[in-house]
Amino acid sequence: MEKRLLFSGLERAWADAITERFGPLGFKVEWIAKTRPLKAFPESRIPAVAVIGATDDRFDEAIAIIGSLKATAPDLPMILINGRRSEAQAIDAFRAGVNDYFSEPLPYARLFAAIDRLLKRATRHPASTAPTEASADALAAIVGRGSVMQQMKRYLLRVAGAHCAVLITGETGTGKELVAQSIHRGSPRADKAMVCVNCAALPENLVESELFGFRKGAFTGALFSQKGKFELAHQGTLFLDEIGEMSSSAQAKILRGIENSAIYPLGSPRALPLDVRIIAATNRNPETLVDQGRFRQDLYYRLNVAHIHLPPLRERREDIPELATRRILQLNQRSGRQVDGLSPEALAALAEHHWPGNIRELNNLIEATYLNCQTRQIQFTDFPPAFSQKVTFYRVSAISEKDQLLSMLSATRWNKSETARKLNWSRMRIYRALRRHNLTDRHP
């Protein structure tokens, strides 16, 4: 079968440049001014990669063409080149099914690299279902049977196979790094490195040397050359965690490296071209940070191509039993013990907690409880006192104050100190409540 590359909606110069680059490799480049439905091509002429151009007034038409191509050839790798930068249009393009998205001006070298990646991916996964299965396996670590998480997983399968930048948002402890790792493992870059950077812990004066590296003699004490995080992630993925904590000047340096697909190591007179996929994460609302002037708008638009928001655990309580069980299994494997799970009362207690620390808090609680558990099943009494007291308070919080007070006073035989402790009230609140509800200060 003849190897073909399809170009549509772009200037002829693009196709000529690609012909010069890929022609010697056995590819025939077909340039057409207006894309025809793929069904118009015989099977022998289905392209290996399709590159679609879009202008402001024809963006919707380009998206419709992409949808038509995907409907007839679901595994056809596609690249969209847009005439202008638009966050909303970039998101629409990835949702339509493109593998890569670029805005003009775009150097030929970046387009060559994108086509190379897609061709290598097709060679690595010749079967039509292989990439999806690989991505699905990579997402196995993400627990979630609820509708919100299932919808997010379907989107992650699309994002994993693309080259686009990803912005992950969510509260602390929701699993942003786990999602980033899953995207990397499900991507064509899975056999390359994933380099993680904790931006919040990166000192301002070390940003350039840590991210871009330095050459021997670049500064006093630079006795050897050192690669930066960008260079270490070449052809792989760079995960910038808590990027919202970086200063504006540090953000500007990162933006320059992303936009140019190249960096200048300290002490180097020449740019170092790099092919890196960026995944960033923050536990803050990035739009609020932009409005406050604490996050560069241009960097936000560059990163927020594919946006993944992880819901807090309190909004997906249906996943708590599975998350808890998985943590117990991990602890069983580590310790050699055999704890089978949680009692119904213990599970009910987990469902009642607010989980301000999200999945991280749940995992830590299960580990602490695991140490206390002396049987094959975790009971409510195995929970640390700090947690069980909170749950007791949650359980009675929906009851009227008078009923709460009477119930707990009765349970403690009118021991006001014990009642205050169990209700998490002060002793003064106990006395005020007794007077307010005309309750006698004695055992009835």
Amino acid at 207: V
How far, CA to CA in Å, does 244 sit from each of 195, 278, 286, 290, 297?
A: 18, 15, 7, 10, 12
Range from 199-208, 330-339, 383-392 carrying the lowest mean pLDDT: 383-392
Averaged pLDDT, 38-63: 73
Q: Which of 187, 193, 32, 14 is nearest to 110 (CA)?
A: 14
Buried b (16+ CB within 10 A) or exposed e, 335-364: eeeebeebeeebbebbeebebebbbebbbe
Q: What is the pLDDT of residues 319-355, one digit of tens each?
A: 899 899 999 999 999 998 999 889 888 888 898 888 9
Task: Name the burial class of residue 196, with classes exposed (0-12), middle (13-18) and buried (19+) by CB atoms within 10 angstroms of its CB.
Answer: middle
Residue 129 pLDDT exceeds 70: no
Q: Which residue has the higher pLDDT, 37 or 78?
A: 78
% of residues, the chain, pLDDT over 70? 88
Domains (ranges, CATH) in the chain?
3-124 (3.40.50.2300), 130-311 (3.40.50.300), 314-391 (1.10.8.60), 399-436 (1.10.10)
Six token digits for residue 323: 């998350």
* 334 Cβ contact partners less than 8 Å away, ≥ 6 residues apart: none
* Residue 4 pLDDT grade (very low, low, confident, very high; cuts 50, 70, 90): confident
Count Cβ atoms within 10 A of the Cβ of residue 51 and give its class: 0-12 exposed, 13-18 middle, 19 or more buried: buried
- The Cα 369–Cα 379 span in angstroms is 9
Please report which residue ranges of 25-162 form alpha helices under DSSP H.
59-72, 87-96, 108-124, 130-138, 147-160
Cα–Cα separations (whole angstroms), residue 196 to 233, 242, 264, 285: 9, 11, 20, 21
- Concatenating the DSSP letter of every residue in 304-330 gives TTEEEEEPPGGG-GGGHHHHHHHHHHH
- Cβ pair 236, 192 in contact under 8 A: yes
3-class DSSP state of 30 = strand
pTM above 0.85, yes or no: no
Query: Any idea which of 117-121, 271-275, 312-316 has the lowest mean pLDDT?
Result: 117-121
Query: What's the rounded mean pLDDT across residues 311-322?
Result: 90
The amino acid that residue 107 corresponds to is P
